[in-house]
Amino acid sequence: MKPLQRGYIAGPVLLLLWSLTLVYSIAIFVTFAGGAPARPFLPAVIVVGALAGIGALQISGLAMLAGVSAIAGALLSLLGIGPLQFGGEFSQLAEAVVGAFVVPAISLTGRLMLQGTAWGELNRHEFEEAVIRFLTGFGLVFFIVIVMIPFFVMIATSLKSQQELLQNPLDYSIDLSKGWDLLRSYRELFADFMFGSYLWTSFVVSVVTVIVTLLFSIPGAYAVARLRFRGRREFSQSILLIYMVPMIVLALPIYMLFSITGLRNSLFGLILIYPVTTIPVALYILQGYFRGLPFEVEEAGLMDGLNRLSVIRRITLPLSLPSIASVSLYVFMIAWNEFLLAFMLLDDPSTFTLTRGVAMLNSSEIPRQHLMAGAVIATIPVLALFLGLERFITKGLTAGSVKG
């Protein structure tokens, strides 16, 4: 393809594809949130995409571009030829508001999409950069949509009443006029289904699992990374072999062993078995980090008269806090979300973990909104923990990857 052809094709085609991506994504969101169908109007999408591309290239100021696009989107929606066609009980005002959002979204993100792209000549590097920006944006929007829709459905269903679910089970709009009554399902879970006890049990089991895992994995990882002993290489290579055996294969032997020893319906039994699944991955991560630490720092401590244990306590562990913290959070999330062993070993509701309690709600005798509310309660804490500390977790997990 010649440079001039690249220039004339890249801008319009990428803007049209990006317009379709955004409009379909917004249509899905409006349909779920508004409780009425919103469908893209393809002729209008093509026109809006073309106009947005021209505006993104010709209007320099972002405020001016947003204002012009918002007015154009609102007018097109009021005339019934906007990029989104609404069904149900949408008012003209609501259609104009959505239209005033859709077109600026296309224009402003189109500015980023077409950055450095002109209608004239484009060399191969500029053309590929424009295509990569589109594919990156498309992938981001696509995965956000497919990940967020289940969460939205789960939260919206948990805020419904039994009558609303029976009348229209596919209506996921949220009636904010109900006020605090929206949280009725959550109040009933804590009042009638012992979910406060389940939360506390999961927290205790997860914290103890983290402590036990660190007590075994830190010395083991340090020994593999620093000490020389027979079989060290084989041990290092076989750390993750346990993950080659599916847990479902071990379920029956574990169940029989725990039944014989009387450890079923015992949190002590869970605390014994959970570290078996978390210690290998903690060992694998920490040994890579310990190998990445400069050996000269520890050698200097040994030359100053410190013994090996003092070097570990005063030098190695303080330097390894980012990796230890990230491993702790990772192990905590594994223990918090574990379901198979809890479902298999716990029958007494007084010992249920949170995931086992949510499984108990999956019954024809319990309203569906309670199941969804339980899933939200189980998901939100660990999700908030991960999102809040995601950068810290990533830094710790990758800190030893270069030299590991």
Domain final position from 118, 135, 167: 167
* 194 located within any domain: yes
Q: Which of 254, 249, 271, 279 is nearest to 351 (CA)?
A: 271
DSSP 223-259: HHHH---TTHHHHHHTGGGGGGS-HHHHHHHHHHHHH
Average pLDDT in the 375-385 region? 86
pLDDT class of 201 with cuts at 50, 70, 90: very high
Contact status, residue 174 vs residue 156, Cβ threshold 8 Å? yes
* 180 located within any domain: no
Lowest mean pLDDT among 110-119, 195-204, 316-325: 110-119
Asked if residue 403 has pLDDT above 70, the reply is no
Whether 261 and 155 map to the same domain: the answer is: no
Whether 210 and 347 map to the same domain: the answer is: yes
* 345 located within any domain: yes
For tokens 């379909």, what's the residue? 24
Whether 128 and 245 map to the same domain: the answer is: no
Q: Cα(234)–Cα(230) distance, rounded to whole angstroms?
A: 9
Whether 16 and 77 map to the same domain: the answer is: yes
Whether 318 and 191 map to the same domain: the answer is: yes
Provide the residue range defining the domain that includes 15.
2-167
Average pLDDT in the 268-283 region? 89
CB proximity list for 376: less than 8 A, separation 6 or greater: 154, 155, 158, 186
pLDDT reported for residue 212: 94
- Count of the separate structural domains present in the chain: 2
Please report, rounded to a whole number, the percentage of residues in the chain having pLDDT higher than 70: 85
Whether 152 and 193 map to the same domain: the answer is: no
Average pLDDT in the 121-149 region? 79
Q: What is the mean pLDDT of the chain?
A: 79
pLDDT reported for residue 165: 80
Q: Which residues of 112-147 are buried (b: 16+ CB within 10 A; e: fewer)?
A: ebbeebebeebeeebbebbeebbeebbeebeeeeee
Asked if residue 150 has pLDDT above 80, the reply is yes
Q: With 0.85 as the threshold, say if the pTM is over it.
A: no
Whether 139 and 256 map to the same domain: the answer is: no
Which comes out higher in pLDDT, residue 386 or 280?
280
**Cβ neighbours, 10 Å, residue 148:** 14
Range ranked top by mean pLDDT from 37-46, 177-186, 284-293, 351-360: 351-360
Which CATH number characterizes residue 319's domain?
Answer: 1.10.3720.10
Asked if residue 371 has pLDDT above 80, the reply is yes
Task: List, for residues 17-28, the tens digit of each pLDDT value.
Answer: 888 888 888 888
Asked if residue 352 has pLDDT above 80, the reply is yes
Whether 249 and 161 map to the same domain: the answer is: no
Average pLDDT in the 83-105 region? 73
Average pLDDT in the 195-218 region? 92
* 151 located within any domain: yes
Q: Which of 53, 36, 31 is nearest to 145 (CA)?
A: 31
pLDDT reported for residue 404: 42
Whether 128 and 202 map to the same domain: the answer is: no
HSE-CB for 64 with a 13 A CA cutoff: 7
Q: Cα(118)–Cα(204) distance, rounded to whole angstroms?
A: 59
Tokens found for residue 311: 């070097």
H/E element, 292: helix 267-292
Whether 348 and 229 map to the same domain: the answer is: yes
Asked if residue 160 has pLDDT above 80, the reply is yes
Domain final position from 100, 135, 167: 167
Residue type present at position 190: F
Task: List, for residues 95-111, the tens digit of each pLDDT value.
Answer: 777 778 787 887 777 77
* 283 located within any domain: yes
Whether 216 and 83 map to the same domain: the answer is: no
pLDDT class of 116 with cuts at 50, 70, 90: low
* 174 located within any domain: no
* 23 located within any domain: yes
Query: To the nearest 10°, the Cα dihedral for 372, 334, 209, 206?
Result: -20
Whether 205 and 241 map to the same domain: the answer is: yes
pLDDT class of 39 with cuts at 50, 70, 90: confident
Phi, psi of 86 (to 5 degrees): -105, 150
* 179 located within any domain: no
